[in-house]
Amino acid sequence: MVEHLHSDGEEPCVTLDAFLSQSNATAVRLEPDEDARALIPYLDRLKLIEVAFPKFRDGRGYSSARILREAGYAGELRAQGDVLVDQIAYMKRCGFDSFAPEKPLNPADVEAALTRWPDHYQTAADKAVPIWKLRHG
């Protein structure tokens, strides 16, 4: 869950290439230029997918996350790297449920960022009901 910014003592992630050639891993790391859809056949047995954000400006990981959730992935989806407090609300909407920032975040700022928005205009990968649906039921 989002409150747990990082969880320790787990199986290390393997690269996408290693995962695709070594089928018993349950944790994989996806780089920005790697195709999330390559994982779709294996989602049932994956426990953790770590999506790399080497630079916060590189937004490909947001699409990777949504694609994985839209394909039914139910395991842990972690944003790792240059993950800043001002991005995590969007990351959560795209389906991330854990965060491994390189630089520690101030928990109060995280709490504020994640509770700031009363509602959302769009449907995304979280459970939020979009504003148009609130308007029309």
Partner 1 sequence: MYQYDEYDQAMVDARVAEFADQVRRRLAGEITEDQFKPLRLMNGLYLQLHAYMLRVAVPYGTLSSRQMRMLAHIARKYDRDYGHFTTRQNLQYNWIKLEDAPAILADLASVEMHAIQTSGNCIRNISSDQWASAAADEITDPRPWAELLRQWSSFHPEFSYLPRKFKIAVIAAEEDRAAMRLHDIGIQIVEKDGQHGAAVYVGGGMGRTPMIAPLIKDFVPLEDLLSYLEACLRVYNRYGRRDNIYKARIKILIHELGADEYRRQVEEEFVHVKSLGIDPPRAEFDRIAALFAPPALDVSAPDEIDRGDPDFAVWVDSQVAAHKVPGHAIVNISLKPVGGIPGDASSAQIDLMADLAETYSHDELRVTHAQNIVLPHVRKADLYAIWQQLDAAGLATPNLDLISDIIACPGLDYCSLANARSIPVAQKIATRFADLDRQKELGELKLKISGCINACGHHHAGHIGILGVDRKGTENYQLLLGGSGAEDVSLGTITGPGFDEDGVVDAIERVTDKYLAERTEGERFVDTFRRVGMAPFKEAIYG
Among the listed residues 94, 98, 99, 110, the single contact to partner 1 using CB under 8 A: 94
Does 130 help bind partner 1 (rule: CB under 8 A)?
yes
Among the listed residues 18, 74, 129, 134, the single contact to partner 1 using CB under 8 A: 134
Reduced to 3 states (helix: H, G, I; strand: E, B; else coil), residue 60 is: helix
**Residue 57, number of CB atoms within 10 A of its CB:** 8
CB of 61 to partner 1, least distance (A): 9
First to last CA, the chain: 29
Q: Which stretch binds partner 1 (CB under 8 A): 3-11, 14-22, 40-48, 115-123?
A: 115-123
Compute the CA torsion angle 40, 61, 13, 93 (nearest 10 deg): -80
C-beta closer to partner 1: residue 59 or 75: 59
Structure tokens that stand for 104 in this block: 């520690």
